Chains A and B, each alone.
Chain A
């Protein structure tokens, strides 16, 4: 019998090129903020989501490193990895440890240090099929570009519609003090940016970022005792799909999203139309479009139209990526899943300032690994 779980505190660093801060510095900074913010005086356990600290900075055994540097040793500390869904998966692990009653206070954090000189393209490509996709010369943008081309071919999604995702997310990010890019971009700028992997251009792609984020989970009962604002986790779901894009059932659908979403909606007793806003994994503009369709917010093939018509803007039918998304907020890989939870928390506790979604009651966070080989979805409820 699982007990109810709450998020009672959050902490996040600035996302961007943090030349002066190491992987450890970044994680500790975010974690200390979360611990302070939550008002707890200790944690029982911690999970760290990070994708390739080994390739980026030569460091594995991240659980131990971070427990040491955060000063919380000897609590159990485990590194969780699911490519770009590492953060979401770390949160899910923390959720289970609290929900099962095994621990009371658990920290779920995510971090990535991508600017120390490793080849980013090679490192990120480890999320794809190394022997049968990467060996052939594909890159990450290349995989999503193939999805984009197939989606454009099948559903007539346009170049402009993809650009609208970037424009909207930059607009939202400009109101987020921790976002990597606080400048807005125009449709023209996105459409004319340097080509990376046809048809995706530079401004269709999330950036290379350093950053860390952490949240504190505990049981709802404990949260009530602390008398601090908290939000409730009402669904936690995860799914997997084939590692290689070419092995998928469909090239225009992210089955992992559909499967996880179905489970999450069943767990929470909600329907897509009950969700007030969502943080989705816009590693590339096309990803946001396909994900919003596969989450059930829009009919298949109509995701492009939806963003073009402002349905996903703040104030629209279902605001998507109010914090700027990966595009403008930044995408320190392991931290992203946690950062999504933090945006949900801020919105649901009425703390989002200019970005506030009115009457936000249910928020959904969708975190995804690789080209759609893993997906983690959480639904949080305002209390």
Chain B
């Protein structure tokens, strides 16, 4: 079985499992008291955020390794991971406002986590725009690795600055999401969805990586 085929099967499996998660979420997990059914979107949103962060982390790691080992496969992996990460970022950035509108009463707020994810999205976009603009594969790999590493180091600084900004400007935020202690059923559902999204990430990246392999031979 080729890599692409294996990736497809893993993705398919993950999607079936995701459907299972939602059966569990809708049927067997209690409805959150204050948020109502809107809260159900969290089982997509939070794990998508996790996968996006995972993507960026692995892009950074692959970039460091690439600069040391100069192996074209690492570059291909980083490219695949970034592309998949962008998709997860999109999922996160669309499900977030959908949830926030009924719950917070606004589509968007400049909360630390939100700003961080938005910047993550911009990082992914920048990374990809750069890749698209370099034709020489060796140069492209080097450049992408440099940006990948810088991006990874940047994230904590963005988080810190946005966090500092908010704490220095205390303001009444209606229904601010405090770290909720989840009832066990919700927690299990959430953890399961984390697993499923990680699997989705793996499946997507395998397919994208296989595609990159085809492209490089041509």
Chains A and B come from one and the same complex: no
